[in-house]
């Protein structure tokens, strides 16, 4: 029987490339981080990202995040592939992780502010002495291409409490973009409020995410108000499903909370993975998100 031809070194090289990565998590929203600053093109394709994010057959994660070469005088650029291979504009928990990863030392302290180019615009994370990261997330977008036309604001403000029928119920929605789309609900049209423990995320999340009213799909946040400065939130993420935390979602939640009159501009958002502090600063209209970002392990993987 003829033996199979031995693949040449070039053929083997084309078959698999070893990619160094670091696994980080921000309140349990976990990512595979890759230092890709040597070239513009991500070294992992969206299809490969899906495999790497698989929690049984891969490393496991909610997405793959790349530090890319700087653009327009920034320190670096960021891109992210969700675990379904789609590419969102921004990731709040992810940029906190990337800021510490790029700082070079998972125990990096107080390394000052970085300026990051993202599809959502310029974002400024700053490492704090206590190991947390405070991120200037820029301004919320209250009307934009990813805010549903039927839910577009009427008087220049965010659409507040528009009704949306999903799963036989009429939900009161406010849509806010952080560069990526978010649909936030505090309750139903019948006046009943949300109890996050009663939300069946796998059952209802996809019915919002893939609802035709959302031109770019959507992340959906279900919010329970504990006080004007404290809410609980669970999230069904676009392209990732139920995650333990969503940074952009927490920012959008506070904007919606202020616009609907539920919360103050400085608010703690409790997620299943832990709390984030969010401030929608009146002086500059920017949103500031503060929370942790931790290294889990580093490694190398063939893609
Ligand atoms: N799934 C999101 C991207 C990740 C956002 C989230 N993990 C965060 O921390 O902001 C989207 O498709 O818009």
Task: Label residue 39 by pLDDT band (50, 70, 90).
Answer: very high
Is the same domain home to 19 and 92? yes
Task: Please give the model's pTM, rounded to 2 decimal places.
Answer: 0.91
CA distance 14 to 184: 45
Is the same domain home to 98 and 205? no
State the pLDDT at residue 162: 82
Tell whether the torsion through CA atoms of 235, 182, 51 and 81 is positive or negative: negative
Burial class (CB in 10 A: 0-12, 13-18, 19+), 195: exposed
Is the same domain home to 55 and 129? yes
Is the same domain home to 279 and 297? no
Is the same domain home to 39 and 62? yes
> Candidates 218, 234, 246: which one to mutate for ligand 1, based on the most atoms within 8 Å of Cβ?
246
Q: Is residue 1 assigned to a domain?
A: no
Q: Which atom of ligand 1 is nearest to the CA of 182?
A: 13
Ligand 1 neighbours, Cβ below 6 Å, are 29, 62, 82, 88, 91-94, 180, 219, 237-240, 243, 246-249
Number of structural domains the chain divides into: 2
Q: Which atom of ligand 1 is nearest to the CA of 86?
A: 12
- The CATH code of the domain that includes 82 is 3.10.310.10
Between 250 and 104, residue with greater pLDDT: 250
Token look-up 């940029």 returns 95
Domain boundaries, position 22: 9-138+293-302
Q: Are 269 and 254 in contact (CB under 8 A)?
A: yes
Q: Are 224 and 193 in contact (CB under 8 A)?
A: yes
Token look-up 């969700």 returns 82
Is the same domain home to 148 and 206? yes
Is the same domain home to 127 and 246? no
Q: Is residue 2 assigned to a domain?
A: no
**Strand 294-302 vs strand 266-271: parallel, antiparallel, or unpaired?**
unpaired
Is the same domain home to 134 and 148? no
Q: Is residue 158 assigned to a domain?
A: yes
Is the same domain home to 222 and 125? no
Q: What is the pLDDT of residues 69-108, one digit of tens each?
A: 998 899 999 999 999 999 999 999 999 999 999 998 656 6
Q: Is residue 3 assigned to a domain?
A: no
């Amino acid at each position: 029987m003829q033996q199979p031809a031995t693949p040449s070194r070039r053929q083997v090289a084309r078959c698999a490339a070893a990619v160094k990565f670091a696994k980080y998590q921000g309140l349990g929203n976990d990512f595979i981080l890759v230092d890709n600053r040597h070239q513009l093109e991500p070294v992992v394709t969206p299809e490969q990202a899906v495999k790497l994010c698989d929690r049984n057959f891969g490393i496991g994660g909610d997405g793959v995040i790349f530090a890319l070469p700087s653009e327009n005088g920034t320190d670096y650029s960021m891109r992210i592939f969700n675990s379904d291979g789609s590419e969102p504009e921004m990731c709040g928990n992810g940029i906190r992780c990337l800021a510490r990863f790029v700082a070079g030392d998972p125990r990096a302290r107080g390394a000052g502010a970085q300026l990051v180019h993202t599809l959502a615009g310029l974002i400024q994370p700053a490492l704090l002495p206590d190991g947390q990261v405070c991120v200037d997330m820029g301004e919320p977008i209250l009307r934009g291409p990813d805010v549903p036309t039927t839910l577009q604001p009427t008087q220049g403000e965010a659409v507040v409490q528009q009704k949306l029928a999903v799963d036989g119920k009429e939900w009161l929605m406010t849509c806010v973009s952080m560069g990526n789309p978010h649909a936030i609900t505090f309750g139903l049209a019948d006046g009943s409020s949300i109890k996050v423990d009663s939300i069946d995320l796998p059952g209802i999340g996809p019915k919002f995410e893939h609802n035709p009213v959302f031109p770019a799909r959507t992340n959906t946040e279900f919010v329970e108000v504990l006080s004007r400065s404290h809410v609980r939130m669970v999230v069904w993420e676009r392209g990732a499903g139920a995650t333990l935390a969503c940074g952009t979602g927490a920012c959008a939640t506070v904007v919606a909370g202020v616009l609907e009159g539920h919360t103050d501009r400085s608010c703690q958002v409790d997620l299943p993975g832990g709390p984030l502090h969010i401030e929608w600063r009146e002086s500059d209209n920017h949103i500031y998100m503060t929370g942790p970002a931790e290294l889990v392990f580093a490694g190398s993987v063939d893609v």
